[in-house]
Amino acid sequence: MSTHDLYTIPAELSTWDVQMSGNSRFTWEYDDGRDRMLALYQKGKDKQWDSAKRIDWTLEVDPYNVLGIPDQTIAIYGTPLWERMDERTRQEVRRHGAAWQFSQFLHGEQGAMICSAKIVESVPDLDSKFYAATQTMDEARHAETYARFLQEKVGLAYPINEHLKSLLDSTLTDSRWDMPYLGMQVLIEGLALAAFGVMRDITTKPLPKQILAYVMQDEARHVAFGRMALRDYYRDLSETELREREDFVIEGCYLMRDRLRGKETWENLGLSKAEVDEAMEATDHSEYLRLFRSLLFSRIVPCVKDIGLWSPRLQQAYAEMGVLEMAGQSLEALMNQDEEIADKLDAERFAQEESERHAEVAETISLGRES
C-alpha cells in the first residue's frame, strides 16, 4: 500500500523540491584529523544495525492504544469536550495522536538524512565527512523503521507539519556549511531525541519501546557530532556572525514549540470548528503538555550553551519559553543513559530468545527419547 493512501490529509505533492545553496567542498588533507571525531566515526561504524533483524516485528500493536499510556497524557482529558465524546471517538483521538507523532518522527528522519548528506558535501574537514556519512545511513534506517511501523502497525499517517517543514526549509536553503548542523543536529535532532526519550520511558508496549530505544542510541551520537563540530567553529566567529546564528536558534525553537500543538489532528477527527478551538485551548493550557514541552528542550538548551551561543538575549528567549533551567542538564549523562538502555534491552531480549531456543531443543530431544 502506498503511504499516500494512509495520509489523513492529502499531501500537496509526491515530492518536495528544496532549492539548496552552498558549495560542495573537497579536501586533500587525508591525515588522521581530530581524535575525538574519528572515535565517534569508529563508534558510528561499529553500531550499525539492521532494523529487519534487531527489531521484533512479530509483536502486535493496538492502533488505538499504540503506547499503552494513561489518557491523562491527552491534552483534552477531563475537559467538557472529552466528557462529551463516546468511546469510539476517544479511540480515534488516541490513534490519530500517535499516528501524527510518529509521522513527524518519520518526516524528521528523512530531513535528517538529507541534512547529513549535505554535511558530507559541504563540510570542509574530512573527519566530519566520514562521520556524517555514517549518520546518513543511520537516518535512512530510522526512516525505514518509522515508515514500516506506521504502515504495518498503525495504518494511518500524517503529512509533514508546517512548522517542521519551515525549519527544514530554512536549514537546507542556507548556504553556510554550519547551518545543517545547527538546524538539524542541534534543534530538530535534539528535540526529537528528547521526545523519543519521554515516549521510550513511559510506553508499556514492547515494539515502540524497542524502536525508540534503538533509534535513540544512534541519535545521541548525532547530537554529539554537532556539538563537536560547532563548538570548534563558533569559537572563531565574530559577534555579528554569532548573533545571526542565535536568531536562527530562537526562531527555530519557537517553530519546534509550536509544532507540538498538532492542530491538524483535531481538524481531522470530524470535530466542529468550535470543538477544534476548544481542543486547542485545552492543548495550550494542558499541564502535562507544558511539562512535556519543557522536557523536550532538555537536549537543546544545554547543547546550545555548550557550542557557545549563550548571550543574554538567547537566555531571555529560553526564559520566556520556560526552559532556561534545562541549561544545567548533563548531555554526557543523558547519552550514556541512552546507550545503556538500548544495550540492556538487547541483553534481555536476546537472552530470552536464547533461553526459549534451548527449551525448544530440550523438548525436541525429550520427545525423541520418548518415541
Whether residue 223 contacts residue 186, with contact meaning beta carbons closer than 8 Å, is answered with yes
Contact 318, 250 (CB under 8 A): no
> What nine digits make up the cell of 186?
542541534
Q: Distance between CA 257 and CA 321 in Å, rounded?
A: 9
CA distances from 113 to 109, 217, 269 (A): 6, 16, 32
What would the pLDDT profile of 221-236 be if each residue is shown by its tens digit?
888 888 888 998 999 9
Interacting residues of 110 by C-beta distance below 8 A, sequence separation 6+:
139, 143
Domain residue extents for the chain: 3-10+33-370
Return the closest-CA partner of residue 210 out of 55, 52, 48: 55
Residue at grid coordinates 550553551: 305
What is the model's pLDDT at position 287?
87
d(CA 173, CA 142): 23
Residue 265 and residue 97 in contact, taking contact as beta carbons nearer than 8 Å: yes
CA-CA distance, 309 to 46, in Å (whole number)?
Answer: 32
What stretches of 156-205 show up as alpha helix (H) in DSSP? 162-173, 179-180, 189-202
Query: What local confidence, expressed as pLDDT, does residue 14 receive?
Result: 62
CA dihedral 176, 321, 333, 310 (to 10 degrees): 50
CATH classification (class only), 3-10+33-370: mainly alpha
Tell me the H-state helices in the chain: 35-46, 51-54, 80-84, 87-122, 126-149, 162-173, 179-180, 189-202, 206-234, 239-259, 263-267, 273-285, 287-296, 300-306, 312-321, 331-370
**In the prediction, which pLDDT does 371 show?**
55
Residues in the chain, pLDDT under 70: 1-2, 4, 9-15, 19-22, 24-25, 28, 30-34, 352-371
**Cell 530468545 belongs to which residue?**
353
What confidence score (pLDDT) does residue 212 get? Answer: 97
Is residue 59 classed as helix, strand or coil in its secondary structure? Answer: coil
What integer pLDDT is reported at residue 357 of this predicted model?
55
C-alpha cell at 205: 508496549
**Entry pTM:** 0.85
